[in-house]
Chains A and B, each alone.
Chain A
Amino acid sequence: MSRIAITVNEKARLIDVAPDTPLLWVLRDTLGLTGTKYGCGMGLCGACTVHLDGEARRSCQTAVGSVGAKKITTIEGLSPDHSHPIQRAWIAEQVPQCGYCQSGQIMQASAFLAKTPHPAREQIDEAMSGNICRCATYQRIRRAIQRAAEQKLDDSSNPS
């Protein structure tokens, strides 16, 4: 055990855990931020994706002691009111089914779009191929990312 200082969703937090504890479990069990999900524990599914200084990272493969001063953003901190363009696009395209993987999908997509504002279909597939959705909402994920990129962000519009 050691005292570790991290910044999560713009708040400074002091936690007492072993430095090799994966950030995923610190978020979920220590800080109660359960929006970030456990899916595989091996960096294979992307359900645990968060941002470190804006970069998408698998929190199950990130030791909390390695985070240092980097700012951690989780799904809870992406926007206060679903207002992030990716969240709005996710609602407009009615992406989620069970929804379990979607925190990770959204964190991956938002980091990707910040760097690639006008992605081609192949770039979307490449960027999102580390995130598994077993309900397999992939067609809608593609559409939502394209929608966010094109700023076609009418929340009230009906799907299909």
Chain B
Amino acid sequence: MIPQTQVSRREFLKTSTQATGALILGFSLPTRGQAQEPASSGPFKIFKPNAWLRITADNQIRVLVEKPELGQGSRTYTPMMIAEELEVDWSTIHVEQAPTIPSIYQSLRTGGSGGVANTYTPMRQVGAQAREMLITAAAQQWKAKKKDCRAESGAVVHSPTNRRLTYGELVEAASELPLINPDEVTLKQPKDFRIIGKSLPRTDVPSKVDGSAGFGIDVRAPGMLFAVIARCPFFGGNLQSSDAAAAKAVSGVRAVFPVPPLPRHFNTAGGVAVVADSTWAAMQGRKALALTWDKGPGANESTDTLRKVVEQRASGPPTFIALDRGDAVEALVGPVKKLEASYESPFQAHATMEPMNTTVHVRDHEIEVWSPTQFADEVQKEIAELSGFPLDKVIVHMTLSGGSFGRRYQWDYAAEAWQVAKEMKKPVQLLWTREDDMQHDFYRPYNYQRLSGGFDAQGNLVAWSTRLVTTPISGSNLYTGFTESPETLKDPATIAALEWYGADVAPYSIPNLRIEYSPADSVVPRSWWRSVASSYTPFAKECFIDELAHASGRDPFQFRMDLLTDKSPETARLRAVLELAAENSGWGKPLPKGRGRGIACRVGGSCSAQVAEVSVDDDGTVQVHRVVSAVNCGIAVNPDGVQAMTEGAINFALTAVLTGEITIKGGAVEQSNFHDYQVLRINQAPEIEVHIVPSAEDPNGVGELGAMLVPPAVANAVFAARGVRVRRLPMDPQLLKRSQS
């Protein structure tokens, strides 16, 4: 859920059409774009109906994919959509990354689980436009009626006579036709799909089992140098003194120099760069630096002080009321039965397996950048702004990314790489060590939620209020923290979408509802982390629903169903996934002693329900044995992709539930590597079942969906197993151990 960066379908179509027009008017790609064309291609050996598709005389189809490939499958689902409408065999498809030319490609980014949803119509139109032009070309050649011709397996067939021309044979004729408006072509009906809806092997997988896949860290250029930066460990702090003599004496070290922090939206810490002939030499040089730091404005901030701050903010007046329906305040004054609880979750790191890095070559008249980013056009724009080079002189190659989970929506590491490379006149790869990555992330906000619910005399849940406090993403800044300026708070809806999305109890029918929000200040940088606010709002909401169910002596599944009474399609979808998850998990059936089941659900673009099955060891360690997930995401373009994303998202969230926690002391992160920020390992990974609801509706995203419900499903299961309500994550084994004695 990253609203400001999603391109609406209408905008996408508009730009698609414009780009098509630009190409036919002889738009030429810059030097490196042209280099992507096969050398043998003459003017009409390639049919280029639009910016995303190239059909060659030898019947090969090249698809240029805009969306970065972070592991979510963009290099597979995009060509699937195009191939579906183009009527070609999957084996003829070749995929490459579209170049960073924002005037043509306006979707060189992905986020908010929006990749499939945003491209579903435009990419099918890309294929359909080409198909219609190829049919027209064949009909003209045969002097036949277009309606008697059909596209089939990379060829046009004249149905009455069975004459056949391959697309390759039509390349020249189709290239001479006027463009067909992609908005006016008829798209196939889902019932006629041959490719969409099938589980196809991913196009990038073979390169990921033999070491040939090229990530940012794998970029190699002749004469390139390797760099690391010793960053100020204290957020907002500064370099006080530096002695580089020993570092410069390390074999292989070429240069040592200070790198100033970049302000505001770059959010870089600044420090001292060490450039060397190899990564190892750069790391050794960095170790030899003698540096002192001024701790800056966060010197007194710690996780303990932050806990006090969020509790204070939860007790004071709200900064604004996010939602107000009925009169929850009044209804909670004197209900027959009232329940209150507070939930809290800490900062989380992205900890992508490929640490941040970028390679930059600053030449006299242009800058070339290779970056594992999920936001290539922004990297280009930011480096142009920093350097003063025109946009078209900043060439950005978007490499594969070794995970992202929201981290690569920031461009800090690319900006730093430019800062270092501009001093060297050679290609320089700036690599973050794991420690850098862990301690200079943009973290999932710290959050605290205080909830109240009240039943009337008949036992109906009639009132609900949530006070949510977070260190907000909005305004996150190393130097000033969140400022409650009138400008920032002018649009609560914007902040709402980032900070409390998912706290709304809809579509549960609760007549009196109030959601209040207050920000808490912190020097710690914050940003998108897989599922953003939905990584913590369902934890409070769906656990509290569970508490209310138990308080009223009702089954948590049935309690939810009883609250889902309105007749909207959204509610119907949610009821269906709840039933599907409950049924497949064996909800209500006996379990071995010591095990418990917990359920949770959510509705949004995609809706889902999950049931977790857990037990608690004698030492208080939670074992998650099984997670059953029911998903309705509209049509599953690549069902195995939906399944893979869901499995991964569930496991990802388990880190935050079981062990993951970033803590602050003296204005710096305490954790440094995988020994103290422990992420889920295979021996902790549960059995996962994913049940996808068949649908012909337009698709919605699943990259984040699976992560949202794991915290409440597991916490509710722990309660079922042990009778202990866990309201703070990660789960504290000591709390659970004590409860057993």
A and B are interacting partners: yes
A residues sitting closer than 8 Å to B (CB atoms) are 1, 17-18, 21-22, 25, 28-30, 32-42, 44-45, 47, 74-76, 78-79, 82, 87, 90-91, 94-103, 106, 124-126, 128-142, 158-160
Complex contacts, A28 vs chain B, CB 8 Å: 279
B409 CB within 8 Å of chain A: no
A72 to chain B, nearest CB (A): 14
A152 to B643, CA, bound (A): 21
Closest to B283 in A: A41
- CB pair A132 B674 closer than 8 Å: yes
B639 CB within 8 Å of chain A: yes
Supply 5 A–B pairs (Cβ within 8 Å), ascending by A: A34-B214, A37-B354, A158-B640, A159-B640, A160-B639
Contact-size category for B: 35 or more
- CB pair A34 B434 closer than 8 Å: no
A140 to B648, CA, bound (A): 10
Counting chain B CB atoms within 10 Å of each CB, the highest count among A1, A103, A138 belongs to A138
- CB pair A21 B280 closer than 8 Å: yes
- CB pair A42 B202 closer than 8 Å: no
- CB pair A97 B71 closer than 8 Å: yes
A95 to B348, CA, bound (A): 26
A52 to B642, CA, bound (A): 38
A139 to chain B, nearest CB (A): 5
Closest to A78 in B: B210
- CB pair B434 A139 closer than 8 Å: no
Complex contacts, B398 vs chain A, CB 8 Å: none
- CB pair B198 A142 closer than 8 Å: no
B204 CB within 8 Å of chain A: yes
B351 CB within 8 Å of chain A: yes
B365 to chain A, nearest CB (A): 29
B373 to chain A, nearest CB (A): 13
B123 to chain A, nearest CB (A): 21
- CB pair A131 B400 closer than 8 Å: no
Which of B155-163, B215-223, B482-490, B730-738 makes up part of the contact surface? Answer: B215-223
B83 to chain A, nearest CB (A): 16
Complex contacts, A34 vs chain B, CB 8 Å: 211, 214, 217-218, 220
Closest 3 CB pairs of A and B: A35-B211, A100-B402, A136-B651
B residues sitting closer than 8 Å to A (CB atoms) are 70-73, 198-202, 204-215, 217-218, 220, 226, 251, 277-280, 283, 351-355, 400-405, 431, 433-434, 639-640, 643-645, 647-648, 650-652, 654, 673-675, 679-683, 685, 687-688
Q: With A97-B644, A126-B683 as given contacts, are A138 and B673 in contact (CB-CB < 8 Å)?
A: no
- CB pair B682 A138 closer than 8 Å: yes
Q: With A35-B210, A91-B201, A99-B208 as given contacts, are A139 and B402 in contact (CB-CB < 8 Å)?
A: no
A134 to B652, CA, bound (A): 7
- CB pair A74 B206 closer than 8 Å: no
- CB pair A158 B199 closer than 8 Å: yes
A85 to chain B, nearest CB (A): 12
- CB pair B673 A42 closer than 8 Å: yes
Closest to B650 in A: A136
A132 to B352, CA, bound (A): 10
Contacts A39-B355, A82-B210 aside, 16 further interface pairs with beta carbons under 8 A come to A29-B278, A33-B211, A34-B214, A40-B674, A41-B433, A41-B434, A42-B673, A45-B674, A82-B209, A94-B644, A95-B205, A97-B72, A97-B403, A132-B679, A133-B353, A136-B652
- CB pair B685 A30 closer than 8 Å: no
Q: With A94-B205, A126-B683, A139-B688 as given contacts, are A75 and B210 in contact (CB-CB < 8 Å)?
A: yes
Complex contacts, B277 vs chain A, CB 8 Å: 29
A53 to B656, CA, bound (A): 38
- CB pair B353 A42 closer than 8 Å: no
Complex contacts, A39 vs chain B, CB 8 Å: 353, 355, 434
Closest to B686 in A: A139
- CB pair A101 B353 closer than 8 Å: yes
Closest to A75 in B: B211
Complex contacts, A90 vs chain B, CB 8 Å: 205, 209
- CB pair B648 A97 closer than 8 Å: yes
Complex contacts, B405 vs chain A, CB 8 Å: 134
B217 to chain A, nearest CB (A): 7
A143 to chain B, nearest CB (A): 11
A91 to B49, CA, bound (A): 33
- CB pair B648 A137 closer than 8 Å: yes
Contact of A25 among B201, B279, B353, B647 (CB under 8 A): B279
A25 to B208, CA, bound (A): 20
- CB pair B682 A87 closer than 8 Å: no
A160 to B198, CA, bound (A): 10
Complex contacts, A159 vs chain B, CB 8 Å: 199, 201, 640
Q: With A40-B434, A98-B71 as given contacts, are A134 and B685 in contact (CB-CB < 8 Å)?
A: no
A32 to B219, CA, bound (A): 10
- CB pair B209 A1 closer than 8 Å: no
Counting chain A CB atoms within 10 Å of each CB, the highest count among B280, B351, B400, B682 belongs to B682
